[in-house]
Amino acid sequence: MTRRVSIVVPALNEAAGIAATLGVLAPWRAAGHEVIVVDGGSTDATARLATAWADRVLAAPRGRARQMNAGAAAARHGVLLFLHADTRLPPGALAAVERALQRGAAWGRFDVRIDGRSRGLAVVAALMNLRSRATGIATGDQAIFVRRDAFDAVGGFPDQPLMEDVELSRRLKRSAGRPACLRERVVTSGRRWDEHGVWRTVWLMWTLRWRYWRGTPAEVLAQAYH
């Protein structure tokens, strides 16, 4: 029997693409899964547009960790999948998640493909997937899924403004073992790389991760990131 999944989508000023992201999830809803959008105070029409495509649209304090924790708290089902508002799940995603859970995984993530104008994005995505597979650390762009009991056991996402996905991965790896690294690919927006430059963005993110690993507080890193 397929387990029911609650898909939690944190959003902030995503009116341009929220309908496309949520539209892909219509078959999930038809099969009895639920979609929860958690708006962090959008000043555009994000919340209004999401209403037609989600089971619930919630408001929460701004910040992905807080928004995703609020969505998880409201979720009805025993499996949580956290999906960024600019990321689309691939066909067959539900079946892939179910297979991973049946094999005993407590959590996991998808490979990623980056959709953008910049050259080199395929290389960046390949490196992201390789790094994640080698380290057992997932990023939010890779659509992390997790059994609720495992999520609750580590206290959910840490209340920090950056690296919440890295820290959750660390805690889950210690508590529940390594993730299932699915080869099915989510498609995420390349707008960050297009706007700031591919290799400049890669350098920034690797530098921030290295500093976080060395113990720099997430609050300090968030200032550098923004």
pLDDT digits (tens, 9 = 90+) for 72-86: 999 999 999 999 999
Cβ contact 182:96 at 8 Å: yes
Alpha carbon distance 41, 5 (integer Å)? 25
pLDDT value at position 220? Answer: 83
**3-class secondary-structure state, position 177:** coil
**Is the pLDDT higher at 61 or at 208?**
61
212 contacts: CB under 8 Å, gap ≥ 6: 163, 166, 218, 221
Mean of all residue pLDDT scores within the chain: 94
pLDDT digits (tens, 9 = 90+) for 134-170: 999 999 999 999 999 999 999 999 999 999 999 999 9
pLDDT digits (tens, 9 = 90+) for 14-35: 999 999 999 999 999 999 999 9
**3-class secondary-structure state, position 215:** coil
pLDDT value at position 215? Answer: 87
Cβ contact 40:61 at 8 Å: yes
Provide DSSP, 106-158. SEEEEEEEEESSSTTHHHHHHHHHHHHHHH----GGG--EEEHHHHHHTTSS-
Q: Which amino acid is at 195?
A: E
Provide DSSP, 150-182. HHHHTTSS-S-SS-HHHHHHHHHHHHH-SPEEE
**Is the pLDDT higher at 58 or at 197?**
58
